[in-house]
Amino acid sequence: MAAARTRPGTAAPWCAAVLVVLTLLALLTGCGGGGSGAAVVPAGPGAPAVQSVLDRQAAALLHRDETAFLADVDPGFRDRQRQVFRNLAQVPLASWSYRVTGVGPDGDAGGGGDRALARVQVGYRLTGYDTSAVTSDAELTLVRRGGRWYVAGDRHDAQQLWDQGPVRVVRGAHSLVLGTDGPAALRTYADAADRAVPAVGRAWGNGWSGRVVVEVPSSLARMAALLHAAPDTYRGIAAVTTGELGGSSGAPADRVIINPEAFGELSAFGRQVVLTHETTHVATRAATTATTPLWLSEGFADWVGYGGTGRTARQDAPELSRDVATGRAPRNLPSDAGFGTTAGGLAQAYEGAWLACRLIAADWGDAKLTELYRAAGTGGSLDTHLRAVLGTGLDDFTARWRAYVQRELA
């Protein structure tokens, strides 16, 4: 299983119930943990034989040749594969591939030379958006009939959107929205993403694609299935972003995945902040590493999200405002642990992080805030980076932040 770091996103104080935007800057593609757990040992067809079958299927899918695609599918599995093929009809695929990583006996079927289990890495690229393949793991069951091998079943570590129904596609100026709803509903996401991308570009600058891919499943349960998780994990969470932490510019493009149930409860303002926040994570992903404190990455994303809205600190930090009013102002910058989705004071962590970044921009300038973000991802201590970029140490900065919180929220 690929190493993962969970990075929660912005609390949404514009809702009656606090809705948390969780950003998973983790390589969710390519993770293990699903499937039957059968050992992969030499048996049945060799990997080259299976690879040949799957190469034909990949070529047929890219050429939109349904007959050729189904020619290597067992009759009992054909209806399902036909539907998936048709669900992909509108998806702009630049590539599709299967890479066989092992072939062994099908333990669920009690073995036998006419059935086999192949472990496969499935990869795809979206035209105009992905520079490298987005990958996921699957197990494919194969059966032999008349001396020929056919695909007869599959188990995926996580669903893809096209496993859930026909995918509709809406293209924006800077965005690509994939969903299972109608184009009119998806257009609202594209419009918001198109507003988000220039705002993020002004704050972060160049060095990222300037494009964003948004996936919109039809329900919370289906959103969780895309992330290989239980629905309760994302209940009340408006959106997540997947991507490779600290990845190079050639790493797979991030995906912003929407929870339509929580997202639908937000105001138009809240929805825009969410998509701008998530797009910020797309832009900053390559510069974000395990050494980047969450208060900086999440506070920066909120700083971009709230930028230019003309709202006051008290409007956008209502939980901290109440704490300050009752004599419970924070003493320390939010810790990484404070951003856990079950942590007490979650909203205050996001609000405090946003105010820390707002302070840096106000007292040192927007460019220094961006410079600090980039420096923090290179390793070393935060105190060292604060001194080098802002000319002040962590203790002094924390004291200035405490005073700023009191002043802005009193």
Highest mean pLDDT among 43-52, 83-92, 225-234: 83-92
Distances (CA, A) of 36 to 138, 141, 406: 10, 11, 55
Q: Which CATH number fits domain 47-157: 3.40.50.9100, 3.10.450.50, 3.40.50.850, 3.40.50.300?
A: 3.10.450.50
Residue 112 predicted with pLDDT over 70: no
Query: CA torsion angle for 14, 18, 20, 21 (degrees, to 10)?
Result: -20
Over the stretch 299-321, which tens digit does the pLDDT of each residue have?
999 999 999 898 999 999 999 99
List, in sequence order, every residue forming a beta bridge with 177; answer none if it has no partner. 170, 214
Q: For all residues of the chain together, what is the average pLDDT? A: 86
**In contact, 263 and 21? CB cutoff 8 Å:** no
The model's pTM is 0.84
Q: How confident is the model at residue 107 (pLDDT cuts 50, 70, 90)?
A: low
pLDDT of residue 131: 85
Residue 267 predicted with pLDDT over 50: yes
Least confident of 184-188, 203-207, 253-257, 394-398: 253-257
pLDDT of residue 346: 85
Over the stretch 348-383, which tens digit does the pLDDT of each residue have?
999 999 999 999 999 999 999 999 999 999 999 999
Over the stretch 147-186, which tens digit does the pLDDT of each residue have?
899 999 999 888 899 999 999 999 999 999 999 988 899 9
Domain 1-27+166-286 has CATH 3.40.50.300: no
How far apart are alpha carbons 51 and 34 in whole angstroms? 21
Q: How confident is the model at residue 211 (pLDDT cuts 50, 70, 90)?
A: very high
How far apart are alpha carbons 256 and 242 in whole angstroms? 7
* 263: amino acid identity, one letter: F
Query: Could you check whether 1-27+166-286 and 47-157 share the same CATH topology?
Result: no
pLDDT of residue 245: 65
DSSP secondary structure of 33-84: --S------S-SS-HHHHHHHHHHHHHHHHTT-HHHHHTTB-HHHHHHHHHH
> What strands, in cross-sheet order, belong to the sheet with 93-105?
93-105, 115-126, 134-145, 148-156
Domain ranges of the chain: 1-27+166-286, 47-157, 289-410
Structure tokens at 11: 């609390």
How far apart are alpha carbons 106 and 47 in whole angstroms? 14
Residue 261 predicted with pLDDT over 50: yes
